Amino acid sequence: MEPRSRGAAPGGVSVSAVLPAGGSGERLGGATPKQFCAVQGRPLVSYAVRAMERISWISDIVVVVSPENIETMKSIIEKYGHKRVTVVEGGITRHRSIFNGLKVFAENEFSSHLLQKPEVVIIHDAVRPFVEEDTVSKVVMAAKEHGAAGAIRPLVSTVIASAADGCLDHSLERARYRASEMPQAFLFDIIYEAYQQCTDYDLDYGTECLHLALKYCKTNAKLVEGTPDLWKVTYKRDLYAAESIIKDNLSQQVCVITNVKETLAQVGFLLPESLKSQIKVEAISVSLSKNDSCLQSIISGQCYNFVCVNDKRWAIQETQELVDMLEKSNIPLLYPVVLILVHLDIPENNSFSIGMEDLTMIKKFARETKKKNILVYGLLIQYK
Amino acid sequence: MEPRSRGAAPGGVSVSAVLPAGGSGERLGGATPKQFCAVQGRPLVSYAVRAMERISWISDIVVVVSPENIETMKSIIEKYGHKRVTVVEGGITRHRSIFNGLKVFAENEFSSHLLQKPEVVIIHDAVRPFVEEDTVSKVVMAAKEHGAAGAIRPLVSTVIASAADGCLDHSLERARYRASEMPQAFLFDIIYEAYQQCTDYDLDYGTECLHLALKYCKTNAKLVEGTPDLWKVTYKRDLYAAESIIKDNLSQQVCVITNVKETLAQVGFLLPESLKSQIKVEAISVSLSKNDSCLQSIISGQCYNFVCVNDKRWAIQETQELVDMLEKSNIPLLYPVVLILVHLDIPENNSFSIGMEDLTMIKKFARETKKKNILVYGLLIQYK
């Protein structure tokens, strides 16, 4: 891992994350384990990794997958350019997989390179694609103070206990109980101790880390109210639900960038006029490469989508700078950002001057940025 | 209610249903209560009513809504042509609403027309749009035998109890517990007795009918494993999930109908040839009105979508007969059926002979059938 400047973790502790991604996804009803199913073209696990990765104070992200999926996971990491990720081979149950993930921070023999042991470790599911930094931060803070913490949600259905004859034994008073969700966080030494102490029965049949911390370390986890988006993708319908959340979270603002030439500035005026009834529009006339601070302030106003109008041939280089700036800005690229390159074909240029070479170049560029969740589209307009 | 011939109920009992639809949908985060939110253009409650209505042995369907939504509910019933439905004013809580719904079968003063008291009453949520007859049938059978029964599902998350300090008190062993879902069914006298006996506290803070039957009538409900589709629409993302289930359940077959004229038969050959790589196609050359039995066998083979090629002016009348047949067939019109009317404009006819009158007629026809969940599209092809 290369050293990098990171924001301070809540409470100044060192933090890493373990993502169990070894499930078989049998409830989803398909051949592909759910963490590898695509939502808007990207595997679910990539969203979960991204959600951790964009939190600058998380040092290492350990993804635990079953042996047969190690290569798949590695190719996902490469394809989407994930950083700070270590892939670890899982066990046959959820608890055994998490234990394997934790060992990488503590035991030399389980990893070719021992990762630095964090004070607090986050455990998050690969099939919970959306988690805000605020929630993670609260859980980490609570873990620092209480030794363990986990996100909870209200129960959606009443929970009942069945008797041996398949009849109702009793129902639980819904208000007294909560659904235990993820992320959870622990002082590393507590959860690692719990895993070392626990029985094979726990490892094979248990699922709840908070339970292990309570049972083996007498640590009562602090419960933190989570957001509705924390739910776990379990059934096929949840993949569609995940897609809807992505759509709901797309930035509803666009910035139209034109340079100062007269014809372009005119388009830069007309386009926002016609767009503004449907979407919030900012319009600026600048040369892309020279106005970092101006664009920076637009981005910090939560406007991440851009239309760049240019009469140069697609202006790939300037656009590359914009993409770099978006990446550096640490904005929520968990949700797609749209970049539309408009090539104005103005009479004084050669008409339809776009050749195969240009097309190939822009397609290649679009393919690369797509991995970063930036969708680039090209548009040719004949303008008189 | 007009008498109608109905299939026999499981166990030969008389059965009616109560659908509480009085919720405010605050978890959905919108102004519209979730039962009135549209999925594929149709309010959720209409799917739930439809799911009950297409079960022929359910006599009456009582929908309980809050006072301010009575007119909305009545207009939904009229718009989608729902039958056997009585709208009843709800109380301020779920239990009070269900109790109001039950009173219509038992107490004259609560309804202008007392409905016949059923032996078994089904209680189902308006926000659970999908339930198969098989599940309802199993729950009714179990209620007949045990006095009470309800659908259950495995828990998705571990359930935990929190202590007063917001920390974990204990977690439940997931395998021992189930989520209580709907539909539930009861011997009418048992659940009505339970509601009469229960306290104001129960009515105001309880949510679980199985609990009331146990507490006040010592009836241990039989628990019946339900299908994944039984889940309750709770959050906005669930509306998208519901849409995905509808899409998954669309018939992936199409029948191309042409009459025996040479040019039409030729199209009837070419069209299936080009379609068959994408969808399962049946092709028949018949006059629509004369081949009930032939079409009937196609419908019973789960092929519900039709392309009707005709050189008569849109052939509305023949298509009306097809629509009637689809309706009578008792097929799962919970999911949309697509009817495409192709008007072949052949040289020997007047070219482009479609006037405004025809267009108005087909649009009106399409609007009517849409209420029945049959989507009609018209297509004009010039054919030489």
Q: What is the pLDDT of residues A251-282, one digit of tens each?
A: 677 777 776 677 667 777 777 777 777 777 77
Q: What is the pLDDT of residue A3?
A: 38
Between A203 and A318, whose confidence is greater?
Answer: A203
Asked if residues A100 and A65 have their Cβ atoms less than 8 Å apart, the reply is no
Q: Mutation test of the interface with chain B: which of A34, A98, A167, A236, choosing the one with the most B Cβ atoms within 10 A? A: A167
Q: Which of B330, B320, B297 is nearest to B5 (CA)?
A: B330
Its ipTM equals 0.74
Q: Is B159 on the interface with A (CB under 8 A)?
A: yes
Which residues of chain B are within 8 Å of residue A163 when distances are taken between CB atoms? Answer: 220
Between A219 and B250, whose confidence is greater?
Answer: A219
Q: What is the pLDDT of residue A127?
A: 93
Q: Is A215 on the interface with B (CB under 8 A)?
A: no
Closest residue on chain B to A161 (Cα)? B177
DSSP states along B136-204: HHHHHHHHHHHSEEEEEEE-SSEEEEE-TTSBEEEE--GGGEEEEEEEEEEEHHHHHHHHHHS-HHHHH
Which residues of chain B are within 8 Å of residue A160 when distances are taken between CB atoms? Answer: 152, 177-180, 208, 210, 223
Residue with tokens 């690692």: A192
Q: Which residues contact B143 (CB under 8 A, 6 or more apart)?
A: B120, B149, B184, B185, B186, B187, B222
Domain boundaries, chain B: 15-241, 252-382
Region of B172 on the Ramachandran plot (φ > 0 left; ψ -120 to 50 alpha; else beta): beta
Q: Mutation test of the interface with chain A: which of B95, B125, B157, choosing the one with the most A Cβ atoms within 10 A? A: B157
Q: What is the pLDDT of residue B127?
A: 93
Range name among A102-106, A340-344, B349-353, B359-363 with the lowest pLDDT average: B349-353
Q: What is the pLDDT of residue B69?
A: 93
Which residues of chain B are within 8 Å of residue A244 when distances are taken between CB atoms? Answer: 236-237, 239-241
Which residues of chain A are within 8 Å of residue B167 when distances are taken between CB atoms? Answer: 146, 220-223
What residues of chain B, 218 to 257, have a C-beta less than 8 Å from chain A?
220-223, 228-229, 231-232, 234-245, 248
Q: What is the pLDDT of residue B59?
A: 95
Is the CATH code 3.90.550.10 the one for domain B15-241? Answer: yes
Q: What is the pLDDT of residue A148?
A: 98
Subunit contact A168:B240, Cβ cutoff 8 A: no
Q: Mutation test of the interface with chain B: which of A34, A160, A191, choosing the one with the most B Cβ atoms within 10 A? A: A160
Closest residue on chain B to A147 (Cα)? B167
Residue A81 CA to chain centroid, in angstroms? Answer: 12
Q: What is the pLDDT of residue A11?
A: 81
Residue A255 CA to chain centroid, in angstroms? Answer: 24
CATH architecture of A252-382: 3-Layer(aba) Sandwich (3.40)
Asked whether residue A201 carries a pLDDT value surpassing 90, the answer given is: yes
Q: What is the largest CA-CA distance in chain A?
A: 85
**Coil, strand, or helix at residue A76?**
helix
Residue A124 banded pLDDT, cuts 50, 70, 90 = very high
Q: What is the pLDDT of residue A180?
A: 96
Q: Smallest CA–CA separation between B236 and chain A, in Å?
A: 8
| Residue B260: burial class (beta carbons within 10 Å; 0-12, 13-18, 19+) | exposed
Q: Strands A168-171, A280-285: parallel, antiparallel or unpaired by DSSP?
A: unpaired
Q: What is the pLDDT of residue B5?
A: 44
Asked if residues A242 and A233 have their Cβ atoms less than 8 Å apart, the reply is yes
Range name among A106-110, A320-324, B304-308 with the lowest pLDDT average: A106-110
Q: What is the pLDDT of residue A371?
A: 77
Q: Is B198 on the interface with A (CB under 8 A)?
A: no
Considering chain A, what is the average pLDDT of its residues? Answer: 83
Q: What is the pLDDT of residue B4?
A: 39
Residue B149, φ and ψ in degrees, nearest 5:
-160, 150
**Coil, strand, or helix at residue B329?**
coil
Range name among A159-163, A237-241, B83-87, B141-145 with the lowest pLDDT average: A237-241
Asked whether residue A54 carries a pLDDT value surpassing 70, the answer given is: yes
Asked whether residue A292 carries a pLDDT value surpassing 80, the answer given is: no
Domain B15-241 and domain B252-382 have a common topology:
no
% pLDDT > 70, chain A: 82
Between A55 and A112, whose confidence is greater?
Answer: A55
HSE (CB half, 13 Å, CA atoms) of A193? 14
As beta bridge partners, residue B185 has: B122, B149
Which residues of chain A are within 8 Å of residue B244 when distances are taken between CB atoms? Answer: 236-237, 239-241
Q: Which residues contact A230 (CB under 8 A, 6 or more apart)?
A: A128, A130, A131, A135, A151, A153, A181, A182
Nearest 5°: the CA angle A113, A118, A123 is 95
What residues of chain A, 95 to 114, have a C-beta less than 8 Å from chain B?
none
Q: Which residues contact B269 (CB under 8 A, 6 or more apart)?
A: B283
Range name among A137-146, A309-318, A359-368, B35-44 with the lowest pLDDT average: A309-318
Averages of pLDDT over each 10 residues, chain B, 384 residues: 55 94 66 86 90 91 95 92 92 94 81 81 94 93 97 93 93 91 97 96 92 96 93 88 79 73 72 77 68 69 75 71 76 71 64 64 84 80 63
Q: Smallest CA–CA separation between B159 and chain A, in Å?
A: 5
Between A269 and A68, whose confidence is greater?
Answer: A68
The DSSP H or E segment spanning A302 is: none
The DSSP H or E segment spanning A93 is: none
